[in-house]
Structure 1
Amino acid sequence: MPRFPGHSEDRGAANGFSQSEDDRGSSRRGLNGRRDGNSDRDSLSDADYDRLMEYPDDVDYYSLLGLSRTPPPSDADIRSAYRSLTLSFHPDKQPAHLREAAKQQFEQIREAYETLIDPKKRTVYDLLGAEGVRREWSAGGAMGKGGAAEKQQVGVKALNPEEFRRWFLDTMKARERKVLDSLVQSKGSISLAIDATSMISADEEEDYVYIQLPTLRPSSYAIGYSFRTPLPSFKELLGKVEETENGTEESENDNDPSKQAIQSEVTFSASVGGKLQNPMREAKFMYPDGTEEVKRVAMPLIMIAQNISLGASINHGFRNVASTKGLFGKLPLSFLEGADASVTGLLLPFPTVEAVVAKAIAPFPGTKPLIFTFRTGFFRSIFQSLPVFGLQVTRELDVGRTVYCSWSSGTLNWPAFIQELLSPIVDLGVSLDDVLSRPTQMSKVEIGYISAPRGSRTTEEEDEEDEDDIDVPVTRKCEVGAAESWQIQVDASPQGGGLSVVYGRNLFSYKGEEKLRSEWSTEGYHPISQDHAARPVRLEIQSTVGVDLSLGWHISGTRQVSDFTRMGLGVGVQANKGLVMSVSWNRLGQKIKLPIAICPLPLVSTEIAALAVILPWATYCGFEFGVIRPRERKRRRLALAKRQRQLEKQIAKRRAESQQAIDLMSEQVLRRQAREEENGGLVITKAEYGYYPPRNKKNSTGESKVIDVTIPVAALVDHGQLIIPREVIKFQIIGFYDPAPLRPKKLKIWYRFGGKEHLVEAGDSEGVTCPMRSHLI
C-alpha cells in the first residue's frame, strides 16, 4: 500500500521545512536567485552585486550528500547517504573508461563524508567551510601540529561536540585578539598648529573684510607615543612552572584563552609639546658705498618645550578572586571580584601617581548594574596636600542610553590645625616654586546623558579612545545607517561651569545590517563581508555655553578612506586662537593633526564662520559625487564583467562534470527505479532544473536555460521517498550544475506513484518532499 508522508493539500505545507539559522547556509541560499527576477542584469543592485561576487565556487558538503543542515543530520543519515553514493561512484565498480572520472567524484564524496562524520571537523566546517577545516588541521592550525590542541595537555579529543565548540570559539577569539593587539600595540600622535591668521584682515573705518593668500607659520607642536605589552607574572619572572599529572611542565595560563584575554598589561607613554618661534636678531649691514643699516633678521626656527610627560600605567582585571587562596580570597580584597583596576605613575613633569578601580554593582537582583569608578591620586607631595579623590557613577538606561554623574575633590591643602600640629616635625608648607610649577586641580561636578546608536560607537569615540580604558572588549557592533548620537553634559566648578551638547550622525550612507568589528563571538563566527556601498561621512557638531553665556562651537567630519585609515576636517572657534580649521589623519592608533588658525577671534563674524564651513563642505561634496562615486561605479562594472565572464566559462566545465556523474550513476539508478516500479513506489519519470523566463515578455531577461536532471533526482529517492531540504544548494547536488548563474531557477519533477502521475515545482529556496497528494495531476 503506498504511503504518503503527509496529507496536506497545501503545497506550502509540503515544502514547509524550517528556515536554517546557519549564517553560511542562509547566505549561500541567497546566491541562487534574485528577489526580483524581473530586474535587469545590466543594472545590478547592491544585493545582486554581493551575490555575484560571493557566488560559491567550493562544493557544499551537505548539498553534495543531499543532507539538511537544520536539524543537523545524524551519523546514520550521513553513513546512509555515503553508502548510497558509494554504490554509484566507487572506482572499482566502474568500467575502465569511467574510472578516472569516478575516482575524482569518489574522492570528493569521501572528503565530505569524513568531514561531516567527525563531530569536531563538522563544527569547524559549519563555521569556516572546507578551507577552514584544511587550515585548522594542518601544521600551525588549532588542531594541527604545533597548534593549540597539541599544546593543551588536558585532552581536546575527549571533549564532546558542545565543549569542543566552546573551546574552538575561545581559541579563535584569543587568536583574533592577538592579531588585533599586534596591529594597535603602539599609539602615536603628532599635532602641528599653523598660524594663517594673515589670510583675513579687516578695515575698521570702511567696515570691510579682506581675504588674501596667507603666510603660513608653525606656532606650536605636540608629539606623543605609547605602547603596551603584557605584564609578566611573578611566576614567570622567577621561572616557576607547575608540573601536570603526566609530568610535563606547563605554565598556568598557557592554554586558557579566557585567562590570556585578561592578562595584566603595562603601558608606557611619553609626550612633549610647546611653541615654535622664529627669534629676531638685530644685524648691521654695510653697503659698498660705505653706508650702514641695522635690520631685524629672523633666526632659524626653535622649539620651546613646555609640556613634557613620561610615565607608565598598569591595567589588570580581577577574575576568579573569590575562589583563590591567600590574601585576595578574603574580605575586603575579595570585593574586587569582577573589578578592573589601573595604576598610573608619571616621572615628568613631576612625580605623580593615580589609581583607578571600576566595578559594576547591581543594587537589586535582576536590575541593571551601576558602574562605580573610583579615582585617587597624589599630584603633589603627601606632606603638602591631600590626595585628589574622584567618583563616577554610570548606569545604562537602555541599549545605547546611559546617564552618569561624576565628582572630583580637586587639590586640597592640609587643614590649618594639622599643619600647626605637625609643623615641628614635618614642613607642610607649599613653596612658591612648587605652586607655580604644579597645576592646581579644581573640584568639579559633572552630570551627563549619552544616547549612542544601538550597539555601536561613534567615530569620534573611536578616534579619541582613552588609553586608560580597562579591558575594552574586542567585539563591538557598528551600524551602517544614520547612527545618530547625542551627548549632553552639565559641569560646575569654582572657576565656572557650562553646558555642552554633542550631536553626531552618518551622512551619505544607506540603511544596512549591523556589522561586527570582531568576527568571533560566543555564538559563532560572523565574517565581515566587504562593504560595496559608498562609505559614510561621520558628522560631529559640538556646542558649549558658558556661565557668562559665551558660545563656542566645533563642526567636524571624518570619512574612512581605506580599511584602517580615516581622514577628517573640522572647523570651530577657540577662545585663545579664534577661528580654527583642523585636518586629521588616523590609522590604527597613529594620529596626525594639523590645526590651522585662519582668523583672529576679534574678526570672527557670522559671515566668516559660515564661509569657513560652506566652502570645505561644497568642495568635498563635489569631489565625492564628481570623482569618488563615478570611479567606484566604474570599478564595480569592471569587477562584475570579470566575474560574469568567469562564471560563464565555468558552465562548460560544470556541464561536462555533470554528464560524467550521470553516466556513472545511471546503471545503479535505473535498477533502483525498476524495483520501485515493481512495488508501485516512487518513480521519477522526468526532472528539469534551470531558468524559465516569465510569461510577460516585457519582464523577460532572456531565453530559458534548462537541463535534464532526471537521473540525479532519481538517485535521491530512498525507501520510496524523495526529500530535498530547502537548505540544499540545488546546483551543487551530484549531477546538477547551474545553467544560468544568478537567475531565479526552478526544479520541476514529474513522478509516478501508485500508478498516478504527479508534478511538483520548487524554487532554489524551497524544499521538496515526495510523494504528496497536493502534487497529483
Structure 2
Amino acid sequence: MSSFNQSGTKEFPGAQEFRATVEDDGLDADYSMVGDYPEEPDYYVLLGLSRNPPPTEAEIRSAYRNLTLSFHPDKQPPHLRHAAESQFRHIQEAYETLIDPNKRVVYDISGAAGVRQEWGQHGAMGIGGEAQRQEVGVKAMSPDQFRRWFLKTMKKRERKAVESLVSSKGGITLGINASTMVSVDEDEDVQFHIPSPKVSTYGVSYNFKTPLSIPQLWGMTEKEAETSEETDSGEEVQEEGTEDMLVTWNAGIAGGLARPVKKVTVEYEDGTEGEEKFEMPPLLAGQNFQFGATVVPNFKNLVGTKGIWVKHPFSLLRDSQVSFEALLLPVPTLKANIARAFQPIPGTRPFQVNVTSIHKRSLEETAPSFEVQISREIAKQKIGVITWSSGVVHWPEFLHNLFPSLGMGAQSAIASANEVSNLQIGLISLPKQGQAAIDFDDDDEEESGELDEDVRNLLKKKRLIDQSAESWQTHLQATPGGGAFVLTYSRNLFSGKPADDPVKTEWSSEGYFPMPSMDQARAVRLEISSVVGLDMSLNWTVKGVRRVGEYTRVGLGIGIADKGIMVTFSWSRLGQNINLPINVCPANEATSGAAALTAIFPWLAYCAIEFGYIRPRDRKRRRQAAARRHRELKKLIPKKREESLQAIELMTDQVQRRQAREEAQEGLVILKAEYGYIPAINKKPKNGFEEPRVIDVTIPVAALVNRGQLVISGKTIKFQILGFHDPAPLLPKRLKIWYRFQGRDHFVEAGDKEDIACPMRTHFIST
C-alpha cells in the first residue's frame, strides 16, 4: 500500500513578503480577477458533485453520507470536535440546499445568498412572500415549473424596483443656432470663429404606461374552466399581475423660439425724432402638437383559449400580437397593427408579418392606407426585410360613379401630397456579441503549450470580433419621386465593456444575467449613418455613445443634414433623454471638408481625455483595489491553511481505507498531488514571484476518487475542494497528480479552468 503525507501543506518561500510588491509591480491579470474571486464555498464542490450533468437525489444523499463518516462531530476525538463541527455545518447547509429541488433551483441561479434571501423575511418563499400569494401551490410545482415561476417573480420584482426610480419616459430637445462658428469662403477654406449661440427650436415629449383590466369578452363554459384550471396547474403557470390590456399615453410638442423686435419712434431732447429697435421677450411657437395613446390587448386573457378561438380565422387573432394607436393631435388618426409568424413549410425558418392599417381621414374621402412588412432570418444573425407603404389609397373610379360624394376636397389633397407609396428592401446584420466562449486562461495556455500559435490567434481574433459587437443595416428605398440608399453601421471602439444598451432586464425566462461591472474600462459605441440620393447627394452622421454610470449614457454626434453641419450632444438615463442639436454651419456653406474638420477636433479632444486621463486613472484605481484585496486574502492564508490541515486530518482514515481497497483491485491509487502557483518557465517572473507557492493535497484528491475514477470539472473552483486552500490568491494555479493504475505510474497536470479525468484513456492497459 502506498504511504500518505499527512502534513497537508508545503510552506512556500517568502510567505512573509507575499504580495509585498503588488502595488509597484502588480500582475496584469490581478485586478481582472478581483471581482470573480468567490467569497462563499460552492455547494457542489463541497459535496464533491458535478453541476453538469446535475446530480440525482441518490448521488446527493450518497455524497452526504460519505462525508458524514469523516466529519460528523460525534465520531471525532475531543481535539478535533470543534473543527469537525465547523466543517459539518457547511456540509449540512450544502446538503439541505441541494436536496430540496426548489432551493437548488434558486441556488443555481443566484447562489447561497439568494437562497437565504428568498427563504428569509420578505423573500419570495418567506413569510408574506410571493409564494403565499400565488393561487397555484408553489410547493406542488415540478422543478421546471418552479424555475419558470421564480424567474418571472424575480423579473417582476426587478421591474418594480426600476420603475420606482422612474415611472415614465420623456425627452427634451433644444436646438441651438451657432451657425457663425464655421464658415467656408469662396476658395473652400474653412475658418472657425467664436460663436454667439442662441436657442432656436425646442421639443418636449412624455409618455407613461398603465395597465387596464376589463371583463372577459367571451365567457368559458364550466367544462372549459375546469380544463383551464388543469392546464394552469400543469405546464403553464399564469404570471401573477398579468393585465388584460396595457395603455401607453404619449404627448409632445415641438416648435421654434421667436425673438420679436419692435421698432419704436422716439423723440430726442433736441426735438429730433428717430427709430429705435427693442428686443421683446422671446415667444414659443408650437408648430407640432401630438397627443394619443397606444393600446396593447392581451387576447389570451380577453377571449380565452378554448371554443371558437381555436378555429380559423379567430386563432390568427389569438396567436398574434395586436396593438391600436390613436392620435388626437395634430390630426385624428387611428392605427391598427397585427403581427404574426408564419411557417409555410414545417422545419424552415418562419416569416414575421406585420400589417398596419392607417385611418387618417373619413371613409368618404379615401380608403385606409396600409403598411406591410415581411421579415425572415436568411442566415445566422442576418435578417431580410421588405416593407411596403401604400400611401394615399383613392377609391376606384366605378365607386365614384356610384357614389358621387366620395373623394377628397382641395384642402385634404394638399395635406396628403407627401403621403406617397414607398418600397424598402433591406438587410440587417445583428451583432455577434457573446458568441465566443473562451474557456481557458491565457496564462494557462501559454504555459501548457497545448494550443498552437495559429489556433490561439484565431480564438483571440474571434473574441475581439465578438467584443466589437458589429452590426449594420442597409436598405434601398423607392418612391414615385425618387429613391435613396441608406446604410447604418455600428460597433464598439476601444477595449472594455460595451457602451450600447445592455439587456433590458437582468432576469429573463432563461436565467439571471447581471449587468457588467462598471469598474472596468468602457468602450465607445460608434454609429455611422449615411443616405445617398439618386442625385448623389450625401447626408451622413457619426455618433459616439459612452456609458458614464450604471444607467447613464452620454453621446456626441456630428454630421451634415438639411440645416447644415450639426453637432449633437445627448444624455439619457432610464428612458429620460436630453438632446442638444447645434447648427455650427449654415446649409449653403456646409461641405464635406468642413464637416470632417469639425469632427476631427472633438474626436482628438475625447481621445486625449480618454487615454490621457480617464483610463490611466481607472487602471490605477483597479490596481489599488487589487492590492487591497491581495492584502485581505493574504491575511486569511494562515486561517485557511489551518482549516485545510484539520479537514485533511479528519478525512485521512476513511481515505486510506478506500485507497487500500483500490490498490488491492489494481484500481486508481493517488500517490501524490500538489496544487498552487508555479512560475512559467518561458517567462521572466516578476519581482517577488520567482518561487513556487504549492500545497500538498494528496488526501483531498484521493477523497474524490469514486468507483475507481477521479473527475474534476474545469468549472470547479479547485481551492474550495475540502482540504484545499488558496496558497497564492489571484495568481494562476495548477494541479499536479501522480497516480498508479493497473500497476503502472502516471502523471496528469491541469490549470484552474481545465478538466481532470483519471485514469486517462491512454492509461488503460489490458490485464
Instruction: Tell whether 2:414 aligns with 1:444.
Output: no
Shift of 1:260: 6.4
Instruction: Tell whether 2:214 aligns with 1:233.
Output: yes
Aligned to 1:335: 316
The residue identity in structure 2 corresponding to 1:535 is R
Deviating more after overlay: 159-168 vs 81-90:
159-168
Q: Secondary structure at the match of 1:88?
A: helix
Shift of 1:334: 2.1
Aligned to 1:116: 98
Shift of 1:313: 0.8
Match of 2:44 among 50, 53, 62: 62
Deviating more after overlay: 306-315 vs 55-64:
55-64
Deviating more after overlay: 99-108 vs 293-302:
99-108
**Pair 1:282–1:751, CA change in 2 (3 A):** closer
Contact 2:216/2:303 (<8 A) preserved: no
Shift of 1:202: 5.8
**Pair 1:685–1:374, CA change in 2 (3 A):** closer
Match of 2:568 among 582, 600, 604: 582
Shift of 1:218: 1.3
Contact 1:174/1:261 (<8 A) preserved: no
Q: How does 1:305-704 map to 2 (within 5 A)?
A: 305-316=286-297, 318=299, 324-325=305-306, 328-414=309-395, 418=399, 421-422=402-403, 428=406, 430=408, 441-454=419-432, 481-509=467-495, 518-530=505-517, 534-575=521-562, 577-665=563-651, 688-693=674-679, 698-699=684-685, 701-704=689-692
Question: What TM-score do the two structures reach when normalised by structure 2?
Answer: 0.80
The one-character-per-residue Cα deviations of 1:6-36 (angstroms, maximum 9, x if unpaired) are: xxxxxxxxxxxxxxxxxxxxxxxxxxxxxxx
Contact 2:432/2:470 (<8 A) preserved: no
Aligned to 1:36: none
Contact 1:322/1:329 (<8 A) preserved: no
Aligned to 2:443: none
Instruction: Tell whether 2:690 aligns with 1:705.
Output: no
Q: Secondary structure at the match of 2:248?
A: strand
Deviating more after overlay: 256-265 vs 734-743:
256-265
The one-character-per-residue Cα deviations of 1:84-139 (angstroms, maximum 9, x if unpaired) are: 33233333344555443332222111111112222332233223221222222223
Q: Secondary structure at the match of 2:425?
A: strand
Distance in 1 (alpha carbons) for counterparts of 2:659 and 2:338: 74
CA-based RMSD: 4.5
Shift of 1:279: 0.4
Q: Secondary structure at the match of 1:385?
A: coil
Matched residues, percent identical? 48
Runs (5+) with no aligned partner, structure 2:
2-21, 436-463
Distance in 2 (alpha carbons) for counterparts of 1:98 and 1:689: 25
State the aligned residue count: 708
Distance in 2 (alpha carbons) for counterparts of 1:678 and 1:356: 76
Contact 1:571/1:580 (<8 A) preserved: yes
Runs (5+) with no aligned partner, structure 1:
3-38, 458-477
Distance in 2 (alpha carbons) for counterparts of 1:545 and 1:138: 61
Contact 1:322/1:330 (<8 A) preserved: no
The one-character-per-residue Cα deviations of 1:441-462 (angstroms, maximum 9, x if unpaired) are: 22222222223324799xxxxx
Contact 1:321/1:328 (<8 A) preserved: no
Aligned to 2:68: 86
**Pair 1:281–1:657, CA change in 2 (3 A):** same
Q: How does 1:173-184 map to 2 (within 5 A)?
A: 173=155, 175-176=157-158
Distance in 2 (alpha carbons) for counterparts of 1:174 and 1:612: 46
Match of 1:737 among 720, 725, 744: 725
**Pair 1:711–1:551, CA change in 2 (3 A):** closer
The residue identity in structure 2 corresponding to 1:120 is N
Shift of 1:510: 6.7
Q: How does 1:27-46 map to 2 (within 5 A)?
A: 42=25, 44-45=27-28
Distance in 1 (alpha carbons) for counterparts of 2:258 and 2:206: 24
Shift of 1:234: 1.9
Q: Secondary structure at the match of 1:129?
A: helix
Shift of 1:178: 5.6
Match of 2:199 among 213, 218, 224: 218
The residue identity in structure 2 corresponding to 1:370 is F
Match of 1:197 among 174, 179, 199: 179
Shift of 1:72: 3.3
Shift of 1:319: 5.2
Aligned to 2:18: none
The residue identity in structure 2 corresponding to 1:299 is M
Shift of 1:563: 2.6
The residue identity in structure 1 corresponding to 2:419 is Q
Shift of 1:775: 11
**Pair 1:628–1:768, CA change in 2 (3 A):** same
Contact 2:171/2:205 (<8 A) preserved: yes
The residue identity in structure 1 corresponding to 2:98 is L
**Pair 1:216–1:252, CA change in 2 (3 A):** farther
The one-character-per-residue Cα deviations of 1:385-412 (angstroms, maximum 9, x if unpaired) are: 2221222222221123222222222224
Q: Secondary structure at the match of 2:39?
A: coil
**Pair 1:607–1:156, CA change in 2 (3 A):** closer
Aligned to 2:117: 135
The residue identity in structure 1 corresponding to 2:192 is I
Distance in 2 (alpha carbons) for counterparts of 1:685 and 1:292: 114
Contact 2:200/2:256 (<8 A) preserved: yes
Q: Secondary structure at the match of 2:624?
A: helix
**Pair 1:290–1:312, CA change in 2 (3 A):** same
Shift of 1:737: 1.3
Shift of 1:278: 0.5
Shift of 1:647: 1.3
Q: Secondary structure at the match of 2:588?
A: helix
Shift of 1:628: 1.7
Contact 1:229/1:265 (<8 A) preserved: yes
